[in-house]
């Protein structure tokens, strides 16, 4: 196999890997919001990073956040760790979560 064929194959593998990482990154909620306290935009991805990125240009902060999330995913894979479950993919029952004291239920149970 020629050296140029090897380079083409390696580039194809890198592009496939990059696409997979971008697809994984898209599953995680990413936020950019203005911080009045810091007087700049703060970008964060709570499920993957404790910190975040910041700056004065919202679009640049978002671009830096996307790059940081992708890098974090690469690091998690490189360390052999399991990816955190994205919040957007959690399954909820759809019913309201209502907690009622047992005493209240017992008081009203004979009225039914």
CATH number at residue 78: 3.30.160.250
Question: What is residue 51's predicted lDDT score, i.e. its pLDDT?
Answer: 84
102: domain range? 3-109
Kindly report, residue by residue over 78-110, the tens digit of the pLDDT.
Answer: 999 999 988 765 555 666 665 666 665 566 665
Side-chain half-sphere CA neighbours of 57 within 13 A: 4
Question: What is residue 15's predicted lDDT score, i.e. its pLDDT?
Answer: 82
Average pLDDT per 10 consecutive residues for the chain, totaling 112 residues:
72 82 92 95 93 94 96 93 78 61 61 54
Instruction: Count the Cβ atoms, other than its own, within 10 Å of residue 96.
Output: 5
Check: CB of residue 36 under 8 Å from CB of residue 44: no
Q: Which residues of 3-27 are buried (b: 16+ CB within 10 A; e: fewer)?
A: eeeeeeeeeeeeeeeeeebeebbee
């Amino acid at each position: 196999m020629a050296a140029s064929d090897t380079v083409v194959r390696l580039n194809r593998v890198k592009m496939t890997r990059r696409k997979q990482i971008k697809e994984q990154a898209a599953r995680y909620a990413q936020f950019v919001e203005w911080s009045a306290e810091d007087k700049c935009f703060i970008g964060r991805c709570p499920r993957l990073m404790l910190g975040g990125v910041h700056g004065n240009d919202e679009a640049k902060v978002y671009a830096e956040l996307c790059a940081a999330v992708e890098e974090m995913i690469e690091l998690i894979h490189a360390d052999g760790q399991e990816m955190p479950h994205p919040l957007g993919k959690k399954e909820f029952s759809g019913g309201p979560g209502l907690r009622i004291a047992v005493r209240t239920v017992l008081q009203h149970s004979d009225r039914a």
